[in-house]
């Protein structure tokens, strides 16, 4: 495996304003991830250099800046580039992602293998691509366009999908492998998404996970979900199920890939969130994180 731009074997967490006080008290985390679109673009300030196309800079919350000053890398994670869009990628959104990385001094950025807009309409959701050569051509073109505007590597993430397009020309593993070979992009592997897709299509999650390309792994997402209407939904607001932790335990030990807890709402008490992080640490045979007692709300 080519080394990740992040610290080997690191355990990370998604930075969110709602839990920033707790995150400030964590000891032992190796990185965090911030939603790039949550950072405020300031159009009144000039860009840092001529490579910033959007003529805007990004304002970083002080709580996040404090983590970066402690030496904890922050990865901007985009959710709206629409890398799979046949209409191309919006320059302003590329600039937001690129300037977020410059401002934070990030070692890489990440986005999704998905599309979110077509015909001028915003879906408001990450939609799956058909696994065809034509879709790969679109992805390749858009990824190269984004990479030309970045100072750091790009990682792309597999998504959870409740349906698959018909007439697929590739399996998911073949699709990702060719994408990596064509572009040299890193892979952000979401283990919970692999579990969700396998379970909803009556496939074995471990078999699907072990088929995926690992030579360009940047880091992994691990998140919770629940079953609804006979389908498993990747929610990011529920605890990590035992089945996903079991996948981590089969996949992560012996691999130095960084792992990250992804939580986007319904935040539990600080001690429970730390316990969830340490469940990942235990499953991956890594040192636990700790929380300074003065950081626990009364």
pLDDT tens by residue, 7-53: 999 999 999 999 999 999 999 999 999 999 999 766 545 544 444 44
Q: Read off the pLDDT of each residue in 173-201 and give the average, rounded to a whole number.
A: 96
* Residue 297 pLDDT: 54
Q: Among the ranges 45-59, 148-162, 282-296, which has the highest mean pLDDT value?
A: 148-162
* Mean pLDDT for the chain overall: 91
pTM of the model: 0.92
**CA distances in angstroms from 298 to 21, 25, 170, 293, 294, listed in the order given:** 13, 14, 53, 10, 9
Domains of the chain: 11-286 (3.20.20.150)
Q: Read off the pLDDT of each residue in 65-81 and give the average, rounded to a whole number.
A: 97
pLDDT more than 70, % of the chain: 92
CB 157 within 8 A of CB 112: yes
CB 74 within 8 A of CB 15: yes
Q: Read off the pLDDT of each residue in 132-136 and give the average, rounded to a whole number.
A: 97
């Amino acid at each position: 495996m080519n080394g990740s731009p992040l610290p080997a074997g690191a355990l990370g967490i998604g930075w969110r304003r709602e839990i920033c006080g707790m995150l400030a008290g964590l000891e032992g985390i190796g990185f965090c991830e911030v939603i790039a679109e949550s950072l405020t673009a300031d159009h009144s300030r000039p860009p840092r250099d001529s490579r910033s196309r959007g003529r805007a800079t990004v304002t970083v919350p002080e709580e996040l800046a404090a983590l970066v000053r402690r030496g904890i890398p922050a990865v901007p994670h985009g959710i709206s580039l629409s890398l799979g869009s046949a209409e191309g990628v919006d320059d302003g959104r590329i600039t937001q992602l690129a300037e977020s990385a410059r401002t934070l001094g990030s070692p890489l950025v990440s986005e999704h293998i998905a599309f979110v807009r077509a015909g001028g309409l915003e879906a408001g959701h990450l939609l799956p691509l058909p696994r065809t050569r034509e879709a790969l051509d679109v992805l390749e073109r858009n990824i190269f366009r984004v990479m030309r505007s970045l100072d750091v590597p790009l990682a792309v993430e597999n998504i959870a999908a409740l349906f698959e397009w018909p007439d697929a020309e590739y399996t998911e593993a073949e699709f990702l492998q060719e994408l990596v070979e064509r572009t040299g992009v890193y892979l952000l592997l979401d283990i919970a998404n692999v579990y969700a897709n396998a379970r909803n299509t009556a496939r074995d999650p471990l078999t699907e996970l072990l088929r995926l390309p690992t030579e360009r792994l940047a880091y992994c997402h691990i998140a919770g979900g629940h079953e609804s209407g006979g389908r498993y939904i990747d929610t990011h607001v529920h605890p990590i199920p035992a089945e996903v932790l079991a996948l981590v335990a089969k996949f992560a030990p012996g691999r130095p890939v960084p792992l990250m807890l992804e939580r986007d709402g319904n935040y539990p008490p600080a001690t429970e969130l730390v316990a969830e992080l340490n469940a990942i640490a235990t499953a991956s045979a890594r040192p636990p994180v700790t929380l300074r007692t003065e950081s626990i709300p009364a």
